[in-house]
A and B are shown apart, each in its own frame.
Chain A
Amino acid sequence: MTQETPSSEARRPDRAALAIAVGIAIVAAIIAYSTATAVGGSATRIGPAVFPYTIAGGLFILAIWTAFEAMRGDFPEREEQQIQPVVWIVGGLVAQMLLLHITGFAIATGLLFAATARGFGKGPLWMTIPVGIVLSFIIWVIFAKGLQLSLPAGPLERLI
């Protein structure tokens, strides 16, 4: 099917790609189930259920196709990934999400800033967190006061 690769070693099934195939199949099943159990809908023949079923069907075919390519090892080679930076950045986003309405925009976003910088290897946190909070506070003043965006206020923002 695809172009021959010069590498002589036999290609092994790609487990991660197989997992993707399973994931796509699950999404297809969820769409089909959710559509089948939906109440209401219009009486016309081409109602709101037609497209979900079509898309679920398409995803199911793509899942089989993905599994096929995964077994043949047809997926492109992946660069080795570092997990730690991803954990820092996702951690920063989670912290911002949970703290936004408690501490306000500046502190929550300052933590995200510092965590992202840490993900790229820049520390120490006692320096980057204050930098992030000051920066986010300035942004809050510009966008919440200047452009009327509704950015949540916390103890810091209430000072002005």
Chain B
Amino acid sequence: MDSFTLLAHGFAVAFQPFNLLYALIGVTLGTAVGVLPGIGPALTVALLLPVTYKLDPAGSLIMFAGIYYGGMYGGSTTSILLNTPGESASIVTALEGNKMARAGRGGPALATAAIGSFVAGLIATMALALIAPTIVKFALSFGEAEYFALMMLAFMTVSAAFGDSTLRGLTALFIGLALGLIGADGLSGQVRLGFGIPDLTDGVEITTLAVALFAIGETLSVAASKSTGEGKIEPVKGSVWMNREDWSRSWKPWLRGTFIGFPIGAMPAGGAEIGTFLSYSVEKQLSKKPEEFGHGAIEGVAGPEAANNASAAGTLVPLLTLGLPTSATAAIMLAGFQQFGLQPGPLLFATNPQLVWGLIASLLVANFMLLVLNLPLVGLWVRLLSIPRHWLYAGILVFATLGTIGANPSTFELGMLLLFGLLGYFLRLFGYPIAPVVVGLILGPMAEIHFRRALQISQGDFTVFVGSPISVILLLLAVCAVVIPLVLRARGKGKVLAALAANED
């Protein structure tokens, strides 16, 4: 069956009333958290994991994907009106978008961001549907050694390639890997680093770690900071509709942004931020009015916003086809699959096609919902920005602990939450990235299993890891991902990489 037949079956799943409801809940929540500064899609999905434990898997995953897409839409509203990006992939949007809002053109800025996100989401999700079967076919030939090499590549790109320091990226990754060791070993069942505490036998809960690092760490970090961080909300003046010139200046950046963002998201490089920066500089070079950049150029909003959403869809390619998360949100979504006993990867396409294609079709549905939610109703979301910080963060902590208590109402688990919350605070304070810790915790044990199985199959022969061209190429790329940035930083070009930091989502 080709992609379109499968996708048509997917729509049959997506249009079931309950799945439509889950998608609507997801995109609404996602937009809300995208708008609110301080909480991103990664945290929201982590908070909802325990709550959805008793729901149906397809519905929950549809909801999570809706949150992911919605977060990307909502972030742009905050960037444009408040100049405080709601999530890290919207930093570039703030550059031009906020200038437009100040010049009284906030309406068209919001419109080009929303329509650009829609166009990008539509094209990128279709691209996901088209290339997924090909990658799945390719991935079916992967053995243990190839998976191990793929994970090494993901480790290195997520931790070392971007951000402002190779050292701190790698340290964050190794903290995650070390936490992943705790508990019963996946192959032999031996408990490692259990320190005689029974609660540690099952290992560190990914949701506890993610909620602590993102919610509690962020709250502590904001509370301890001396700057109040209160920005001025620009009112939306005039119409949200774009005029003829806005349209003619926006449509090409939308398409270019999509084609920049999607491959970057799809590669195991992680982070939607990289694509937005690339798109911004491309638009600046190609613009007929480069003098407007820095003073509110609509191309500088249209392109990066499209790139942002396209790479969110791109991130789902390695997640669904290979089971490889390349961003914090994707890592937590993987935990969501595992919660229902599902392992994303090529086999899931064969064993559970309704679920996978239902999810992909739901993304297209969610995209339409988001356009409606974000254009006519934008005034509603703006009001969220006026919630005072003390109530906002008090509420975030209540929900953060609610999720943990709901999953496991034990004093020990809350102690872990507090401990990891403090870890998250210190990581932020000293400039360590957060995403590698989460990715390390979830991928570390998987990499170990592939590594040991490969050696069991080869009867201890280490050359198995360089036995196929695919794994050699992947391992070489992993080495490059560490070495090239080190050289660039040593030559004083580190600033470019720091700007491309893949931090939060």
> What's the interface size class on B, roughly?
35 or more
Would you call A100 and B224 a contact (CB within 8 A)?
A: no
Say yes or no: B390 contacts A121, CB within 8 Å. yes
Contact of B54 among A16, A20, A88, A148 (CB under 8 A): A148
Instruction: Please measure, in the bound complex, the distance between the C-alpha atom of A94 and the C-alpha atom of B411, giving whole angstroms.
Output: 10
Contact B405 A117 (CB under 8 A): no
Chain A residues near B448: list those with CB within 8 A. 51
Check if A71 is an interface residue, CB within 8 A of chain B: no
- Check B190–A40 contact: CB distance below 8 A: yes
What is the minimal beta-carbon distance from B232 to any residue of chain A, in angstroms?
19
A13 on the B face (CB < 8 A): no
| Other-chain residue from B188, B224, B397, B418 in contact with A41 (beta carbon distance below 8 A) | B188
Contact with A along B416-459 (1 / 0, CB 8 A): 01100110010001110000000000001000100110011000
Residues of chain A within 8 A (CB-CB) of B494 are: 2-3
Chain B minimum-CB-distance residue to A110: B398
Contact A97:B390 (CB < 8 A) given known A2-B489, A27-B178, A151-B402: no
Residue on A nearest B219 in the bound complex, by CB: A89
Out of A90, A101, A120, name the residue touching B389 (CB < 8 Å). Answer: A120
The distance from the CB of A76 to the nearest CB of chain B, in whole angstroms, is 5
A-B CB contact pairs (8 Å), 26 listed: A16-B430, A34-B192, A40-B190, A48-B185, A48-B190, A55-B177, A66-B167, A76-B164, A79-B226, A82-B226, A85-B220, A85-B223, A85-B224, A86-B223, A86-B425, A89-B220, A92-B397, A93-B397, A93-B417, A93-B418, A97-B418, A119-B393, A135-B398, A139-B402, A147-B51, A152-B405
Give me the interface of A with B, judged by CB distance under 8 Å.
Answer: 1-4, 16-17, 20, 24, 27, 30-31, 34-35, 38, 40-42, 44-48, 50-52, 55, 58-59, 62, 65-66, 69, 75-76, 78-83, 85-86, 88-90, 92-94, 96-98, 100-101, 105, 109, 112-114, 116-117, 119-122, 128, 132, 135-136, 139, 143, 147-152
Give B contacts to A, CB under 8 Å: 50-51, 54, 164, 167, 170-171, 174, 177-178, 181, 185, 187-188, 190, 192-193, 195, 216, 219-220, 223-227, 388-391, 393-395, 397-398, 401-402, 405-406, 409, 411, 414-415, 417-418, 421-422, 425, 429-431, 444, 448, 451-452, 455-456, 460, 489-490, 492, 494-495
